[in-house]
Amino acid sequence: MDRNSVKCKIGPSVLNADLSQLYVESQKLLDNGADYLHLDVMDGSFVPNLTFGHPVVKCLRKKIPNAFFETHMMVSDPEMWIEPMADAGVSQYTFHIEPVPQNVLPICRKVREAGMKVGLALKPGTGIEAVRQYIEHADMILIMTVEPGFGGQKFINDMMPKVQWLRHNYPLLDIEVDGGVGLNTINACAEAGANMIVSGTAIINSADQKAVIASLRETVESSIHKCNV
């Protein structure tokens, strides 16, 4: 892969792991080849589910000092958690644009000022035009391939045109997919041009996490390679 191409990164979601052992589960994923951890933060308002917040992330960071932590902020007020998440040691703060249509740019700026990378997330019903004007201000765009809220849902293939559009127009952009991504759906994601792959139950429920992570990577890397030859 040359310097001018995007890099494949696999970021497992621990949402459906045994959360009483968050550290053990997270470390196991990293030992099995994960490039980063995708931490699903839900507030019971933006989505009808509740997970964990910055106090838990901060404890996890103490045990895992070096890994790249992405928090996927499925919250109604993303501005509210910027400072606490930065203080907890988060590397990338990915927030949904839907609850803050008038405020995306100032929030991007604050996330950067707090020392984190910026990710912008789109629910399945949100068209790509809603994020177009902000792409230059973000490090990554997350195209949700399920309705946010729960792990283990069915992948929505109809989201692939959004990924394709982004890859076509932004060859070097980090594009992430999240929701229902596993061995049966990775091909579609890779061909559309996604390079950051979130996968929850497909990895967590597997008896051989290492093999699943390696296989996801292989599929994405071969697509990236095809684009560059």
Residue 193's binding partner out of ligand DX5, Zn ion, none, with CB under 5 to 8 Å set by partner kind: none
Minimum distance from residue 114 beta carbon to ligand DX5 (Å): 22
Residue 199's binding partner out of Zn ion, ligand DX5, none, with CB under 5 to 8 Å set by partner kind: ligand DX5
Q: Of the candidates 82, 85, 86, 181, which one interacts with ligand DX5 according to CB under 6 A?
A: 181
Strand 196-199's sheet: what is its strand order? 9-12, 196-199, 174-178, 140-144, 117-122, 92-96, 68-74, 36-42
Distance CA 94, CA 97 (A): 10
The CA angle 120-30-113, to the nearest 5 degrees, is: 35
Binding mask 69-98 for ligand DX5 (x = CB under 6 A): ---x--------------------------
Q: Of the candidates 53, 78, 89, 148, which one interacts with ligand DX5 according to CB under 6 A?
A: 148
- Cα–Cα distance list, 197 to 21, 28, 51, 187, 225 (Å): 23, 18, 21, 11, 16
Q: For ligand DX5, which residue has the nearest CB? A: 200
Minimum distance from residue 220 beta carbon to ligand DX5 (Å): 15
Asked if 149 touches ligand DX5 (CB under 6 A), the answer is yes
Asked if 123 touches ligand DX5 (CB under 6 A), the answer is no
Please name the residue ranges forming H helices in the chain: 22-31, 54-63, 82-87, 104-113, 129-132, 160-169, 186-192, 201-204, 209-228
- Known catalytic residue at 40: yes
Distance CA 69, CA 67 (A): 6
- Known catalytic residue at 174: no
Asked if 9 touches Zn ion (CB under 5 A), the answer is no
Distance CA 44, CA 142 (A): 20
Contact criterion met (CB below 8 Å) for 228 and 48 = no
Catalytic hit among 40, 43, 139, 158: 40
Cβ proximity to Zn ion, 82 vs 196, nearer residue? 196
Residues belonging to the chain: 229
Q: Of the candidates 8, 10, 40, 160, which one interacts with Zn ion according to CB under 5 A?
A: 40
Mind telling me the catalytic residues? 40, 178
Q: Give me the residues that bind ligand DX5 (CB under 6 A), please.
A: 13, 15-16, 38, 40, 72, 146, 148-153, 178-181, 198-202
Q: Give me the residues that bind Zn ion (CB under 5 A), please.
A: 40, 72, 178
